[in-house]
Amino acid sequence: MNKQQLVESIRTKKNFLCVGLDTDLSKIPSHLLKEEDPLFAFNKAIIDATRNYCVSYKPNLAFYEAQGLVGWNALIKTVNYIGDSHFIILDAKRGDIGNTAEQYAKTFFESMPGDSVTIAPYMGEDAITPFLKYENKTAIVLALTSNPGAADFQLIESNGTALYEVVLQKTASLGNTDNIMFVVGATRPEYFTKVRAIVPDHFLLVPGVGAQGGSLEEVYKFGANTEVGLIVNVSRQILYASNGQDFAEKAAVVAKDYAYQMNKLMEHA
C-alpha cells in the first residue's frame, strides 16, 4: 500500500488508527501458549478482530527478534496474513549507512515485505537515502519521540532551532511526501504546530496515545492536514484489553472505540 492508497483507506474507513503489534510472549493469554506458534496465533486473532477498525498495523520487531528464528517466522507469517488491505509499518528503528542500510532496506521492502519501516536519522543522509530508492515504499524517520529521554537530544537548541527541527528540514529535502513520513509523539502536542510549519504535507506516525497518556483530540487539532496526514498508533491498550479467552473481542471493542472517536474528529474538521 502506497501513500495515496493509505489516504483513500482513511477516507473510506473514516479513521486513522494503527494497531501496534508489540506482541509480548509473557503477556499473551496463557491458553495460546499451547499453540504451535503462540505469537502468530495471538496476532491472527487480533488482526481478525480489528481489521475493520484500523487502516494500519505496526509490528514492533524487537518483540519478534527476541524469540530468535521462531519469532522471525511469526513476524513473516503476520505480515503475510495482514496482506495488502492495510498499511504495514515495520517498526525496526534501524540507522546505519552504506551497504548496511541497503541491506536493511532490502530486508524490509523485499524479503518481508512491508510498506514502510521506521529508521533513525542520527547518521544523516547516508542512513536515509537507501530506503528512498524503492517505489511505493516509505521511510518513517524518528523526529520527535514520545519518551522522556527525547529531551536529551531532540529538543537541544542551537541558534534558536531544535535538533528535531533540523531533522525534519533536512530529511524532507531528501525525498517527498510519498516516500517520507515522520514519527512525532502524542505526548508533546504543543510541538505539532512547529512540526506542521516545517512539514505541512507529510504523514506523521504518532505514538503515545493510550497507555502513554497522549490526547487524540489535541493530536488531531494541531497535527491534521487536508489529507488527515496522521497515523495514530495504539498498542498495549488494544492488545492487552483482556488476558482471557475473550482477548480478541475486548481488543475489537477498544479499537472500535478509537475508530469512532477518530470518525467524529474527521466529521467536525
Q: Are strands 138-144 and 157-158 parallel, antiparallel or unpaired?
A: unpaired
Alpha helices per DSSP H over 142-191: 163-174
| H/E stretch holding 197 | helix 192-198
Whether 93 is a known active-site residue: answer yes
Q: How many residues does the chain have?
A: 269
Q: Are strands 138-144 and 116-119 parallel, antiparallel or unpaired?
A: parallel
Q: Which residue has the cell 488527515?
A: 228
- As given in the structure block, the three cell numbers for residue 16 are 486513522
Q: Closest by alpha carbon to 90, among 111, 117, 109, 65?
A: 117
Catalytic residue, chosen from 77, 93, 106, 221, is: 93
Phi-psi region of 113 (alpha: psi -120 to 50; beta: other; left: phi over 0): beta
Rounded to whole angstroms, the Cα distance separating 256 from 19 reads: 11
Rounded to whole angstroms, the Cα distance separating 21 from 3 reads: 21
For residue 223, CA distances in Å to 144, 178, 220 come to 13, 18, 5
Q: Is 8 exposed, middle or buried (0-12, 13-18, 19+ CB in 10 A)?
A: middle
Beta bridge partners of 20: 58
- As given in the structure block, the three cell numbers for residue 248 are 480478541
Do the beta carbons of residue 233 and residue 20 sit within 8 Å?
Answer: yes
Whether a cis peptide bond, with omega within 30° of 0, leads into 207 is no
Residues forming the active site:
93
